[in-house]
Amino acid sequence: MRRSPMPARKAPMGRAVLRSVSTADRPKQRRQPVKAMPGPNAAERLVVAERSARVRMVDMSTVVAWCCEVCGRTLAVPNGDGMTWVYDHSWHHRRPRGKGGDRDPALNTPPRLLLVCGHDNSSGCHGLIEQQRVLAKDNGWLVPRPTDPATVPVELHDGRRLLTLSGTYEEVS
């Protein structure tokens, strides 16, 4: 058996000398800004705050105050033309928005929100919910995906209830 001659090879390529490039000479990478997920708007916050309203004694008089839905602490009291916040508060999403954000149009509906004391993830009831996640799931303060928060009862300071789209409570049977 006769073999054909091997094709002629090209001469090996010489290695290019790599040069060091300073960080100032490197092209700038343009990152897309991360869009913050929108929180509840004023109308959505008002519906949840009104849902949390309870009759309280303030300065020897009976008033309707906005309260933490988890512990019952008074958060806002009426003044002449509205409400005045008297304690740190936040609007807690029962179903976490996630790292990438949640594009669901029902993101800020009343069944998904709770008015709680504490202004961040480390204080008040908001801190309790974020730090004690098993307890929070057991009490309905956190709802895992893809469960609809409107179908999960939540343990409030005065009993276990369902939260409705209209911004009211519904008794659990």
Predicted TM-score (pTM) of the model is 0.73
Between CA 1 and CA 17 the distance in angstroms is 46
**pLDDT of the residue at 100:** 46
User: Considering Cα of 67, then 141, then 46, then 85, what sign does the dihedral take?
Assistant: positive
**pLDDT of the residue at 103:** 63
pLDDT tens for each residue of 133-142: 999 999 999 9
Q: Does residue 90 carry a pLDDT above 80?
A: yes
pLDDT tens for each residue of 45-83: 999 999 998 887 766 777 788 999 999 999 998 888 888
Between CA 78 and CA 84 the distance in angstroms is 6
Q: Model confidence at 111, in pLDDT bands (50, 70, 90)?
A: very high
